[in-house]
Chain A
Amino acid sequence: MLILASCYKTPRLNFDKGLIPVMPQNFRDVNSSHDDYNSDLDYDWSEKFFTLIFSTNRKIAGDFDFIGYSCTAYSSLLSGEFEMNAVFKEGFFVDVLNSDGNELGPCLMYDPDHVYMGEEGPSDAQKRFFYASDINGSLDIYLADLEIENREYVVTGDPVELTEINSGSDDAYPTVFYDSQARTEVLYFTSDRGDSFDIYKATGNPDKLINQSTDLVIEKVEALSTGSDDKCPYIRGKIMVFTSDRAGGSGGFDLWYSKYENNQWSVPVNFGDKINTEYDEYRPVIAEMDGEYFLNNFLNDLMIFSSNRPGGKGGFDLYYAGISKSLK
């Protein structure tokens, strides 16, 4: 029996689930010596694979364009080793959206209640890509409609400028929150239409997508805005992460988060010294790593952000780090 038992042994695993390093790691597979920032994560077709979209000026100096990577996340439950690998996506749908201006702040919609693998395919709510471009001068928010062909997104028609939201100032970094009580979509974004960059929201009509709504109510979110620059809001679930150079940080732009509780955003909390440095941390995005269909075996959630801290490949680089699920 012992001889048989010695033929195959199952080891005792040292981790119940995967663990993303808490200390930020340079995502070397996707970074270049130029600026790489302003990312978004897509939920892809299978577990542990996702698409990363971000802006870079690696192709043309001074012109930020979108590019995409197919990424994988892996964590050994025996050694704790964590890996994120990425392969450049050729012919990605964002290619047709790139212009002579700068494209920033991608927001590929997702719907955690909707299963991509289902027979119906993605919902209309999912087939939307919000972003900002300064092709007409200042940054404005645009929407591109998407369809699925051969399990890949393609852009249908020309991108539409969200004129009801945009102002003559910079308006960028759209992110959509669904208010389940009011049954409305709320598009959060940053704008310097006031004295500084602040976080604003545009509230849509009940039971309509934000881009199908009329008479949008646009308000500054006082709970999240200060006299400093508050930028790059990004929402997953009931957590908003954003960047700000407000007081109370580690210096430069820092990453902060706020929870949506009792129909309001909580007082923003700094992510602390493990994430923030005296340099700039910018455009955070987060992914829940316990979803049923995506990266579902991790003890913490994934945050990707950009930073110009020393030790990178040059300029702004993308970094990833594990953040506590208790934020939710």
Chain B
Amino acid sequence: MRLVIKLLPCIFILALGNSIVAQDENKKNVFSGHLGVSIPTNEFAETNFEYDAGYATTGANIELNYYRYTGKYFALNVSIGYAAFGFNESAYTDDYYNALNKTDGIKTEAGAYQLLNTSFGTVFKIPIGSDFEVLFIPMIGIALCHHPELVVTDDDAGVINSFNKDNSFAASAGIKAQLNYFLSDRYGINLSYSRFSTSPTFSDETSYEKHFDLPVSFQNINIGLTIML
């Protein structure tokens, strides 16, 4: 994902340059929307007491995109997406049982992770025949991340871990591959696969440091509609 961040400014300049060279091309505005599943990855999906484990479970997402073609094969993209993930309460509770050498009496209650992401990127289009095209879209942006309220209670010791819900902005990066199939000159359906990553910092009044960093990374598998505007 860091490679995306490093390469994106170069790609962006390349796309702008392409728009200047290809001024006689027909500029096209394209809208696409998708929804599908969000699968947490890496530390965000980890379920142990190690550093950075997120205990996130598979969730859902919805995403809206606007593409402004600057040439035949290049476009600029802006998108907004929302994703929600569950918190793996049973895995978290099991880790407490292991840590405290107990078999019962511990309960975890947690809400859902939520993420609202706005990103900008460049689109590289590869046409395949007359009806298909594949888009590759590296993106950077900013994400508003929501950490759910979390309470772990032990029958013997009372509340052993607590966290009030908190929101945090953080830079984000992503990359997406999208397959468009046009049903007509204007309408199409799409299938996309994307990966996102961000690292918000949340406040935690009950901890020593009063805050913590949570690596958030996930992949989306979506279907949706593409509309030539």
Contacts and interface: CB of A to CB of B under 8 A. Distances in A.
Contacts of A22: 100, 102, 156-157
Nearest to A325: B158
Contacts of B212: 9-13
Q: How large is the interface on B (under 10, 10 to 19, 20 to 34, 35 or more residues)?
A: 35 or more
Nearest to A297: B208
Contact of A21 (B100, B152, B159): B100
Given A2-B173, A9-B199, A12-B204, A326 B51 contact: no
18 contacts: A2-B197, A3-B5, A5-B199, A9-B51, A9-B199, A10-B209, A11-B52, A12-B214, A13-B161, A13-B207, A13-B208, A14-B95, A15-B161, A16-B161, A22-B157, A78-B49, A80-B49, A322-B157
B27 interface: no
Contacts of A325: 158
A322 B207 contact: no
A79 B49 contact: yes
Given A11-B52, A11-B212, A80 B99 contact: yes
Contacts of A5: 170-171, 199, 201, 213
Nearest to A20: B157
A78 B51 contact: yes
- In the A-B complex, list the 4 residue pairs whose CB atoms are closest, starting with the nearest: A80-B99, A9-B213, A11-B51, A12-B212
B101 A21 contact: yes
Interface string A10-31: 1111111001011100000000
A260 to B, nearest CB: 22
B162 interface: yes
A300 interface: yes
Given A2-B2, A13-B208, A78-B51, A300 B198 contact: no
Of B50, B156, B204, B215, the most chain A CB neighbours within 10 A belong to B156
Interface in B145-192: 152, 154, 156-163, 170-171, 173
A148 B205 CA distance: 39
A299 interface: yes
Contacts of B95: 14
A143 interface: no
Q: How large is the interface on A (under 10, 10 to 19, 20 to 34, 35 or more residues)?
A: 20 to 34
Contact of A2 (B102, B152, B158, B199): B199
A10 to B, nearest CB: 5
A6 interface: yes
A324 B156 CA distance: 6
B211 interface: yes
B51 A300 contact: no
B66 interface: no
A274 B211 CA distance: 35
Interface in B88-109: 95-96, 99-102
Given A19-B100, A22-B102, A300 B157 contact: yes
A162 interface: no
A322 B2 CA distance: 46
Contacts of A60: none
A77 interface: yes
Nearest to B210: A10
A61 interface: no
Given A2-B199, A13-B212, A80-B49, A299 B157 contact: yes
A325 B199 CA distance: 37
